[in-house]
Amino acid sequence: MNRLSNEKRPQKERIYQLFAQVADALANPHRLELLDLLVQSPRTVEELAQEAAMSVANTSQHLQRLKRARLVEDQRDGLYIRYRLADAAVARLWLDLRGVGQQQLAEVERSLDAYRNRRREFTRITPQELLALQRRDEAVLLDVRPRPEYQAGHLPGAISIPLEELEAHLDELPREKTIVAYCRGPYCVYADQALELLSLHGWKVVRLEEGVAEWQQAGHSLER
């Protein structure tokens, strides 16, 4: 039995080496941010570099590491290379990693409070409460992400007003309804900034912490 195990040891170690290749690709904060962005929508290298505040060259190198681990795939789009997640399982892996980190590391919550420093000032709403409000036509669901992300997939019934355009379009929002804002999920500050502006102008506002990835993981569908 031991002799057989020793003979099989190289093959077994190879399996773990392959798993380690995936873990190694994830073991970088910049690559995790790129995955988080690709959860929202496919993007070119240039678009990812701008969103992640990195050079195009550095962004390309990180994407190649993710590609070698089969976490992302690319496709030529005219003069550009557009990247997307290789599979929906990659998005689930990212959400699970994030969840374990928040559960096991108290520093995550403290860092989130520092980043979203006004997040505890706004009432939060669950997906079930949102659906109930929508059925009663008592709320407007506002997607404040960049428009290409909205076009790639958004929560049912959501309207798109990107954060940088919101102040110019306030008169399009009904005063008699609650405004429910969401963005890229609980680690995104855009919805907080939108709610701050809306509440300043007198709207009743609430925050939906879930974004498209969390919404899908809970078994709900998106609109496109």
Q: Rounded to whole angstroms, how far apart are CA atoms 161 and 172?
A: 10
Is residue 162 within 8 A of residue 147, CB to CB? The reply is: yes
Length of the chain: 224
CB atoms within 10 A of CB 157: 14
- Which sequence positions are flagged as catalytic? 183
Backbone angles phi and psi of 179, in degrees to 5: -95, 120
Q: Rounded to whole angstroms, how far apart are CA atoms 214 and 222?
A: 11
Q: Give 74-132 as a 3 state SS string.
A: EEEECCEEEEEECCHHHHHHHHHHHHHHHHHCHHHHHHHHHHCCCHHHCCEECHHHHHH
**Closest C-alpha to 212, from 105, 125, 91, 117:** 91
Is residue 205 within 8 A of residue 193, CB to CB? The reply is: no
Positive or negative, the CA dihedral 32, 36, 37, 38 is: positive
